[in-house]
Amino acid sequence: MTRYAKETAKGIEILALEEVLYSSREIFLTEEVNTDTSVQLIKELMVLEKLDPTKEVTLYINSPGGEVISGMAVYDYIQMMKAPVKTVCIGTAASMGAMLFLAGDKREMLPHTRLMIHDPAFGGGNMAGKKPHELQQYVDKLKQTQDIIVDIIAQKTGKSKEEVRDTTKEDAYFNVAEAMEYGLATGIYNKLNDTLGNENLVLL
């Protein structure tokens, strides 16, 4: 594990890389969106907001997507936060990963990253033996989820719901220029922050 030494009034303090990033209010989503990753993200966001509700939090995203309910819990929490949140795409933010990218007040991408948005899809399970009304209930739930996703994308991009529906009927990939033109991204993240941010911090 990478560690750093920091000189403080109390002497030399040893910090793990994650502690250095956390102290800079930088957190990461680099896995699928599921119950565990969403709960962990919400916990981290809660702590950072309690520490200072006025300072920006940066959420770096490289995720293939995942569970809608888990992802929307994180999205909703970010929308309720007083602290501003900047999201940064550092690879591919796809599906629910892209929706969490849209949660940011500022939404930036590294120059060679991409976003992918699409309609919700059947998430697995055995549909054999289901009665017509049971199948219809599932379709109705998918439609409700689609409406939520379309509403969010339309709100964040300024596109009409009809335009968004046309875009998301198939997997739609966007590079940085395309994402900015569509309104998904607000800028290019072309200068990495000084994550260490302290001249007294030394790599061990």
The pLDDT of residue 140 is above 50: yes
* CA atoms of 9 and 26, how far apart (whole Å): 24
pLDDT band at 3 (very low <50, low <70, confident <90, very high): low
Q: CA 145, CA 120: separation in Å to the nearest integer? A: 7
For the segment 171-193, what is each residue's pLDDT rounded down to a tens digit? 999 999 999 999 999 999 976 55
Active site residues: 95, 118
For residue 144, pLDDT beyond 80:
yes
Q: What is the DSSP secondary structure assignment for residue 37, as one 8-state letter?
A: H
**CB under 8 Å, gap of 24 or more: what pairs does 7-11 form?**
7/200, 8/200
* Domains in the chain: ranges and CATH: 18-195 (3.90.226.10)
Whole-number Å distance between alpha carbons of 178 and 184? 9
pTM (global) more than 0.75: yes
Identify the pLDDT of residue 5.
Answer: 61
pLDDT in tens, 90-101: 999 999 999 999
At 90-135, the pLDDT tens digits run: 999 999 999 999 999 999 999 999 999 999 875 555 666 677 777 7
